Amino acid sequence: MILFRYLTREVLLTMSAVAGILLLVIMGSRFIRYFSDAAEGDIPITILGSLMMYHLPGFMELILPLSFFLGIMLAYGQLYMNSEITVMVACGMSPTRLLKVTLLPASVVAVLVGLCSLWLTPYGALQTETAIEEQRSRLDVSVLAPGRFQEFGGGRTAYIGSFSSDGTEMQDVLVHEQYQPGNESTHDYITRAASGYQETRLDTGSRFLVLNSGERYGVTPGQRSAERLTFERYTLRLGLNRERQALDSLEYATTLALWNNPDPRAQAQWQWRAGLPLMVFVLALMAQPLSRVNPRQGRFGKLLPAVFLYVAYLSMLLAVVDAIGSESWPTTLGVWPIHGLFLALGLLLLWRSQRKGMR
């Protein structure tokens, strides 16, 4: 029991460190991308935190298997370097028992990966796309940044000089409304105002941009004439929220719906989700013999080949998933031959390790 707690703690601590570093890198990259979209006015900055949280399960389902794989190799490699496993073997600990100790934390990691892949990841992807689509469907000036020309829906482009201290009133407003096919008017309109604010009518749900002290010009491309209107107060209707697009992608479907869907693309998505927890056990089986290193070699000696092995495993899975979706690979076979291939490789490595002995 003491050895079990010691080995499990070493593996899980190393795995947590690796997972934290990988998660920081991946989430940082995605955050920069969303922050750039917010700076362009595509999404409001207030929903960045929610979007990152919704993406977290999708990151974890890929990070956890890799970090657990590397955690076993680094932890056991350090034990080999310190001759601690040599002492354990001398005290009667067999390779089979060490494998059983390894598979127990692997079961915990596989459950976490299964929760992410089978439930949390599709739910988070759906919530992310729903939030982004909701922002796209709204003709709202709240996403605009001062000092830039930005589109905000309906063929409108706006420029705002600055916002008031409380963010409710805009200064130096310029709005360009481009002619849209199907509209009654054939003009392009340019409206300039000293200030403005947005208001919503609670009874109808309509939103309006109220402009103060400005001018409105109506021009038709190719004609020399133009309309000019001077106003003290002008109300520009932004309109009702348009109907959001249906989110029917298989990426957002529940696992049960994919199971009952005979479409090859749905079956490919289901097998991908179900195969990720199995991948944890296969990687754990390969990691134990690969962690066996010579003290003079260093525990990082086999790390690079192990990473290449993981990349090959993941790439082959993705290739087969795409082949199933395009109906060039039988659905009945699915991704299971790939898991079987690397399971056989892990058993072969384990057999060779046991044959040589844990010296």
Q: Which of 228, 199, 203 is nearest to 211 (CA)?
A: 199
* In contact, 125 and 251? CB cutoff 8 Å: yes
Distance CA 321, CA 116 (A): 19
DSSP for 299-359, please give it: TTTTHHHHHHHHHHHHHHHHHHHHHHHTTSS-TTTTTHHHHHHHHHHHHHHHHHHHHH---
**pLDDT of res. 323:** 93
- Burial class of residue 282, CB neighbours in 10 A (0-12, 13-18, 19+): buried
**pLDDT of res. 243:** 45
The sheet with strand 207-219 has its strands ordered as: 149-151, 156-163, 169-177, 188-200, 207-219, 226-239
Distance CA 242, CA 245 (A): 9
Amino acid at 225: S
- Distance from CA of residue 18 to its chain's centroid? 19
- Give 10-residue mean pLDDT values along the chain (359 residues): 80 92 90 78 74 90 93 85 72 73 90 93 87 62 72 76 80 83 69 86 74 88 81 79 52 86 90 94 90 69 84 94 90 92 91 66
Distance CA 276, CA 337 (A): 14
Q: Taking the model in full, what pTM does it have?
A: 0.71
Distance CA 114, CA 92 (A): 35
**pLDDT of res. 272:** 93
Using the 8-state DSSP alphabet, how is residue 120 labeled? I
**pLDDT of res. 317:** 94
Q: At what angle do helices 303-325 and 48-81 cross, to 10 degrees?
A: 140
Q: How many residues does the chain have?
A: 359
Please name every residue paired with 229 in a beta bridge, in sequence order, or none if there are none: 216
